[in-house]
Amino acid sequence: MTISKDPGIYEYQFQASDAKNASGPVLSTTDWSDGGTFEIKPMPEPIRFPELSVTNVNFESGDTIVIDGNNFTPQGQVYFHITGPTGFNQILETLQATNEGTFHYEYKKNPDQLFPGNYECSAQDLETNRWTSVKTIIRIDELPIDIGIQILSPTDKDSIIEAKPFTIKWNDKIFRHFNNPVYSNNILRKCRYNFYYADENDDIWHFFNTSLDFLAYPDEIVSFQNRLTIPVGYSKIRIKIEDAYND
């Protein structure tokens, strides 16, 4: 027998009827006899495990990581921590959840405390001892080796005539960790190259009085060229290209 009723306590009694078969007419029915009570309990609430959400996980778009917690015990204590690779000082905090069982935490990066590797966070509801799953905040890769500017031409075998324009060509790579100013779309980097020359017998560098400005994407290998003119009075010179934003 299945009873579908709202939660509560119910009384019941017994009564029986007699018939020749299930579909036949009732021949006799007994009086109601004493029964008892039974209780229908409400369905238990589903277990809600605490959870974390992380936003602004890319330091390129801001210096602050925002971490929000949900499904914690209202007004309960929360143990929260951020872990990282060797050298990173772990962040251990005891927080208090709101009346809604939430918390809000902001982590502002310290450049001196960031090392290559994974940065993760998790939290424990100290009232229920339930943990959140581990969330990756950010992964910082090993900084690539900067091979520097590579001048393709002219080479030491090329002849350049003084007071006559010549073409200089070079390659370079724009890394994310460089100091290039970020352009308005928060992705492109501003780049600037300055050009210098010096007599082969001294280290006094003279500015060519020209620069080249352009925009490039992070991790992009750029190939450019520019026209320069050697001043009168120099027979053999050395040429240097300077990245204006990165020494």
Nearest to 120 by CA among 54, 64, 70: 54
pLDDT of 61 reads 43
Domains of the chain listed by start with CATH number: 8-40 (no CATH), 51-140 (2.60.40.10), 150-243 (2.60.40)
**Can you list the pairs that 198-205 forms with residues at least 24 positions away whose Cβ atoms lie under 8 Å?**
198/237, 198/238, 198/240, 199/234, 199/236, 199/237, 199/238, 200/236, 200/237, 200/238, 205/240
Q: Distance between CA atoms of 170 and 162, rounded to whole angstroms?
A: 21
The single-letter code of the amino acid at 182 is V
Q: Report the pLDDT value the prediction gives residue 56, as an integer from 0 to 100.
A: 65
* Distance of alpha carbon 61 from alpha carbon 184, whole angstroms: 12
Provide the b/e sequence for 198-208 (b: ≥16 CB within 10 Å). Answer: eeeeeeeeeeb
Phi, psi of 111 (to 5 degrees): -55, -30
Residue 60 is predicted with a pLDDT of 47
Question: So what's the pLDDT on residue 113?
Answer: 61
Which residues of the chain fall below pLDDT 50? 59-62
151: burial class by Cβ within 10 Å (0-12, 13-18, 19+)? middle
CB 103 within 8 A of CB 73: no
Query: For 112, phi and psi rounded to 5 degrees?
Result: -75, -10
Q: How far apart are CA 94 and CA 81, in angstroms?
A: 9
Give the contacts of 49 (CB within 8 A, at least 6 positions apart). 71, 130, 132
